[in-house]
């Protein structure tokens, strides 16, 4: 496995890779969720590139950029053991040199949910992902369901800017109690960590109602809210039941795929989670098909 920090070294190493290339972009502090993306990329492609870059452009002024966990040595060991071929770990100046001023904005899809809670977040995400696509020239790129709106935004961006690659979506990897793995889980105290399974329990409650035939979006949102409110450490930022293609909040019963999602603060840490309905869609194939489906021009 080769580790490179500069664009020149990346270009040379990328040029030497043969066949189909899969890209896994990350911010490091790797866990089982990231490794599932690498595993999928490994099995689909001839070569795998992973990137580790804590992207300042996607953090708000009052967010956790400076304390975001950084565990590079361990990350490289994990990537090597998962069979990555090339890892790109650029410094901020490599991605955003002095004088940098070009940003990618995906309009409507970036505005609600996480975009409303985190102003400018998806502008930062779309910009860095477009740049990473240009820098690494992958045939396929792998993203996690955990960040479902990110998937939807990136799919739109990739289609709109004619990136010649496919976006693959990997189901959320969870801890034993259902908590979605996240680099931010290390911020939780023991008490908060126990409370944090409430996000998954709330999604399960709404998923069970849907499976019993409930189709009123408001009833699904209320079911999530009720479970969350029973947890004293939880503060709800939003719960949503939205069209999984457009992210429009659903108001009337629909048979189209619905994305249940939420952001919930536990102590000082805000966690997000989601579930796609019908429940059978929470597989790689279902997610890749239904989450932010974009018709590409021929
Ligand atoms: P991050 O390092 O947090 O930017 O995440 C890098 C990629 O890993 C993104 O595509 C995430 O959606 C994905 N990811 C993060 N956590 C999980 C998880 N628990 N299961 C699946 N994918 C995940």
pTM across the whole model: 0.98
What pLDDT score does 296 carry?
82
Average pLDDT, the chain: 97
Res 131 pLDDT > 90: yes
Q: Which of 99, 94, 98 is nearest to 128 (CA)?
A: 94
What pLDDT score does 104 carry?
98
Strands 47-52 and 86-88, bridge-based pairing: parallel
What pLDDT score does 130 carry?
98
**Could you tell me the two tokens for 169?**
């979506």
Q: For residue 21, count CB atoms less than 10 angstroms from its CB and return exposed for 0-12, middle for 13-18, buried for 19 or more.
A: buried
What pLDDT score does 195 carry?
98
* Segment 29-53 mean pLDDT: 98
Is residue 235 a contact partner of residue 254, using CB atoms and an 8 Å limit? Answer: no
Runs of H (alpha helix) within the chain: 7-16, 32-44, 72-81, 92-95, 113-117, 121-136, 148-160, 190-195, 198-211, 217-229, 284-290
The count of other CB atoms within 10 Å of the CB of residue 68 is 17
What pLDDT score does 216 carry?
97
Model confidence at 137, in pLDDT bands (50, 70, 90)?
very high
Tell me, in angstroms, the distance from the centre of ligand 1 to residue 179's CA: 13
Tell me, in angstroms, the distance from the centre of ligand 1 to residue 146's CA: 6
Q: Which atom of ligand 1 is nearest to the CA of 29?
A: 2
Is residue 27 a contact partner of residue 55, using CB atoms and an 8 Å limit? Answer: yes
Tell me, in angstroms, the distance from the centre of ligand 1 to residue 296's CA: 25
Model confidence at 297, in pLDDT bands (50, 70, 90)?
confident
Res 203 pLDDT > 90: yes
User: Which protein residue has the closest C-alpha to ligand 1 atom 18?
Assistant: 33
**Could you tell me the two tokens for 288?**
């890749």
Res 60 pLDDT > 90: yes
User: Which protein residue has the closest C-alpha to ligand 1 atom 13?
Assistant: 144
* Segment 35-61 mean pLDDT: 97
Give 249-282 pLDDT, tens digit per residue: 999 999 999 999 999 999 999 999 999 999 999 9
* Segment 174-194 mean pLDDT: 97
Q: Which residues are near ligand 1 (CB < 6 Å)?
A: 26-27, 33-34, 36-37, 143-144, 146-147, 170, 172-173, 180-183
Give 226-253 pLDDT, tens digit per residue: 999 999 999 999 999 999 999 999 999 9
| Residues 6+ away with beta carbon under 8 Å from 72 | 28, 52, 89
User: Which protein residue has the closest C-alpha to ligand 1 atom 10?
Assistant: 143
Residue 51 DSSP class: E
Q: What share of the chain is helix, strand, coil (3-state, %, to 5)?
A: 45, 20, 35
Q: Which atom of ligand 1 is nearest to the CA of 182?
A: 16
Q: Token pair 């008490």 is at which residue?
A: 191
User: Which protein residue has the closest C-alpha to ligand 1 atom 14?
Assistant: 144
Site to probe by mutation for ligand 1, drawn from 34, 55, 122 as the one with most ligand atoms within 8 Å of Cβ, is: 34
Q: Would you please indicate which residues are annotated as catalytic (active-site) residues?
A: 34
Q: What angle do CA 76, 95, 59 make, to 5 degrees?
A: 85
User: Which protein residue has the closest C-alpha to ligand 1 atom 7?
Assistant: 26
Query: Residue 65 half-sphere exposure, CB side, CA atoms within 13 Å?
Result: 14
Model confidence at 151, in pLDDT bands (50, 70, 90)?
very high
Res 298 pLDDT > 90: no
* Segment 71-88 mean pLDDT: 98
Q: Which of 149, 147, 90, 153 is nearest to 127 (CA)?
A: 153
Strands 166-170 and 140-144, bridge-based pairing: parallel
Alpha-carbon distance of 251 to 149, in angstroms, equals 19
Model confidence at 295, in pLDDT bands (50, 70, 90)?
confident
């Amino acid at each position: 496995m080769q580790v490179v920090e500069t664009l020149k070294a990346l270009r040379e190493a990328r040029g030497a890779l043969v066949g189909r290339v899969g890209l896994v972009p990350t911010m490091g502090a790797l866990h089982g969720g990231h490794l599932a993306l690498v595993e999928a990329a490994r099995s689909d492609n001839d070569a795998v590139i992973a990137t580790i870059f804590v992207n300042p452009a996607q953090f708000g002024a009052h967010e956790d950029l400076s304390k975001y966990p950084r565990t590079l040595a361990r990350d490289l060991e994990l990537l090597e053991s998962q069979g990555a071929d090339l890892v790109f770990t650029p410094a901020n100046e490599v991605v955003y040199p002095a004088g940098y001023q070009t940003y990618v904005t995906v309009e409507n899809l970036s505005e609600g949910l996480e975009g409303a809670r985190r102003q400018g977040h998806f502008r930062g995400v779309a910009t860095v992902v477009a740049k990473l696509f240009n820098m690494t020239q992958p045939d396929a790129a792998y993203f996690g369901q955990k960040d479902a709106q990110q998937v939807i935004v990136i799919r739109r961006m990739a289609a709109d800017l004619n990136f010649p690659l496919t976006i693959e979506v990997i189901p959320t990897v969870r801890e034993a109690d259902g908590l979605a793995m996240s680099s931010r889980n290390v911020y939780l105290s023991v008490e908060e960590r126990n409370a944090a399974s409430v996000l998954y329990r709330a999604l399960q409650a709404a998923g069970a109602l849907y499976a019993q035939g409930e189709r009123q979006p408001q009833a699904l949102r209320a079911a999530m809210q009720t479970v969350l409110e029973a947890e004293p450490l939880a503060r709800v930022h939003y719960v949503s039941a939205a069209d999984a293609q457009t992210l429009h909040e659903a108001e009337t019963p629909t048979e189209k795929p619905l994305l249940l999602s939420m952001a919930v603060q536990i102590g000082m840490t805000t966690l997000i989670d989601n579930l796609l309905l019908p429940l059978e869609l929470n597989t790689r194939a279902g997610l890749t098909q239904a989450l932010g489906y974009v018709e590409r021009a021929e």
